Homo-oligomer: A and B are copies of this chain.
Amino acid sequence: MKVMRETIVSTARELFRSKGYAGASMNDLADAVGLKKSSLYVRFPNKEALVPAVLDLTLQETFGQRDSASGQWDDEFVEVIEFIATTLTDRGRCVGLHLAYGTSDETPIAKHAVRAFFQAHRDHLSSILSRAMPVDVARDIATDTLARLEGATAFVAIFGEKDAMKRAVRLSIEEAKNAAAAKSLSSR
């Protein structure tokens, strides 16, 4: 009876999402995948090593199948942020942020993985936006977009409300289009 590595990782992700790093135990994870705790150490040297695996899988799912430069920048931007917003709304918490808050200098590998996770998100959105506007503007909009989605997720988590997330998506799209239009005017 062999449990797939990806099953362990995606299960760990949901545990980290709901309970955070400190609150999710290796025994929780073992129970959830139908193994005993010691079996997890065959695949992962320690608890901390689960974090990069979880975040890499999540990045792969978010951006992995997306063919960059496949269409209009704005369609692609909308598609990505709607994918992210839908995931966050459905799951009610952001695993990246829960891990960000739950890791520290005492878990350097995990901390670095979290930072890389958010950096990849920002870089990916920036690269889409920079097809339509200056790089520095694109970066700020990418940052603010992620911040809005993160903040709106808090309202999903706390109140079960989805309106803030809808507005966050709408405002982010508007902001991006306005910035692109402003560049369009200034380049005439």
Quick one: given A20-B101, A102-B20, A158-B114, are A146 and B151 in contact (CB under 8 Å)? yes
Name the B residues within 8 Å of A19 (CB-CB): 22, 104
Residue from B23, B140, B155, B158 in contact with A167 in the complex, judged by beta carbons closer than 8 Å: B140
Given A20-B102, A100-B158, A102-B20, are A168 and B140 neighbors across the interface (CB < 8 Å)? Answer: no
Q: Does A73 contact B (CB under 8 A)?
A: no
Per-position 1/0 for A153-173, Cβ under 8 A of B:
011011101011001100100
Q: Quick one: copies of this chain in the complex?
A: 2
Most buried by B among A101, A118, A143, A157: A101
Contact A143 B158 (CB under 8 A): no
Query: Interface code A97-140, partner B: CB below 8 Å = 1, 0 otherwise?
Result: 11011101000000000110011000000000000000000001
Alpha-carbon gap, A100 to B14, bound state (A): 16
> Which residues from chain B contact A101 at a C-beta distance below 8 Å?
20, 93, 97-98, 101, 157
Interface of A is mostly: helix
Chain A interface residue bracket vs B:
35 or more
A20-B20, A23-B20, A150-B150 known; A143-B155 Cβ under 8 A: yes
Say if the beta carbon of A62 comes within 8 Å of chain B: no
Whether A177 sits at the interface, judged by CB under 8 Å, is: no
* A144 contacts the other chain (CB 8 A): yes
Complex Cα spacing A17 to B22, Å: 14
By a CB distance below 8 angstroms, the chain B residues around A104 are 18-19
Q: Does A149 contact B (CB under 8 A)?
A: yes
Pair B159/A155 contact, Cβ less than 8 Å: no
Cβ–Cβ < 8 Å partners of A143 in chain B? 155, 161, 163-164
Interface residue ranges of A47-105 to B (CB < 8 Å):
93, 97-98, 100-102, 104
